[in-house]
């Protein structure tokens, strides 16, 4: 799921402030501590080889985030693709790969335990390359 900033419903607008809210934007029930993450990614980055060996060879952690700039495309286990671009909010459920098509900077919030496991796996993959 992704949504452009301008498509998020304005709940309140007063001089100097606009408050937008998208409800039901993912479910973090039972996921424990959340980590805040800032990623800078160059065009051409593809997580596919880094996720080899994980269940389904895919990232098994959900992420909620915002694209500050750039373009990224996720592919899920069924082959469905979704592209998130500058100023999009996004939710990436478990079971995805990411390809960066335009230099990107993103902010993500992820279940800490699950994403640390994925990051540690990627670090080991990079060592063996």
CATH assignment of the domain containing 101? 2.60.120.10
More confident residue, 6 or 68: 68
| pLDDT score for 101 | 96
Domain-located, residue 20: no
Average pLDDT for residues 36-48, to the nearest whole number? 93
End-to-end CA distance of the chain, in Å?
A: 33
Domain-located, residue 4: no
Secondary structure (3-state) at 87: coil
Residue 67 · residue 90 · CB < 8 Å: yes
Residue 75 · residue 81 · CB < 8 Å: yes
Model confidence at 67: pLDDT above 90: yes
Domain-located, residue 1: no
Total domains in the chain come to 1
Model confidence at 77: pLDDT above 80: yes
Domain-located, residue 113: yes
Domain of 47 in residue numbering reads as 34-127
Tell me the whole-structure pTM to 2 decimals.
0.85
Q: How far is CA 114 from the centre of its chain?
A: 13
Q: Determine which of 23-32, 58-67, 107-116 has the lowest per-residue pLDDT on average.
A: 23-32
101, 99, 97: which is closest to 76 by C-alpha?
A: 97
Model confidence at 6: pLDDT above 80: yes
| Residue 55 pLDDT class (50, 70, 90 cuts) | very high
Domain-located, residue 3: no
Average pLDDT for residues 55-80, to the nearest whole number? 96
Domain-located, residue 29: no
Please give the mean pLDDT across all residues of the chain.
Answer: 91
Would you say the C-alpha torsion 35, 41, 44, 49 has a positive or negative sign? negative
């Amino acid at each position: 799921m992704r949504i452009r900033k301008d498509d998020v419903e304005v709940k309140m607008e007063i001089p100097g402030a606009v408050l937008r809210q998208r409800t039901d934007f993912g479910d973090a029930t039972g996921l424990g501590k959340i980590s805040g993450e800032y990623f800078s990614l160059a065009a051409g980055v593809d997580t596919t080889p880094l996720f080899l060996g994980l269940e389904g060879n895919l990232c098994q952690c959900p992420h909620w985030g915002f694209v500050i700039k750039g373009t990224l495309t996720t592919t899920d286990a069924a082959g469905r693709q979704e592209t998130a671009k500058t100023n999009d909010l996004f939710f990436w459920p478990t079971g995805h790969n990411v390809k960066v098509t335009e230099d990107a900077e993103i902010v993500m919030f992820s279940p800490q335990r699950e994403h640390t496991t994925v990051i540690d796996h990627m670090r080991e993959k990079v060592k063996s390359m």
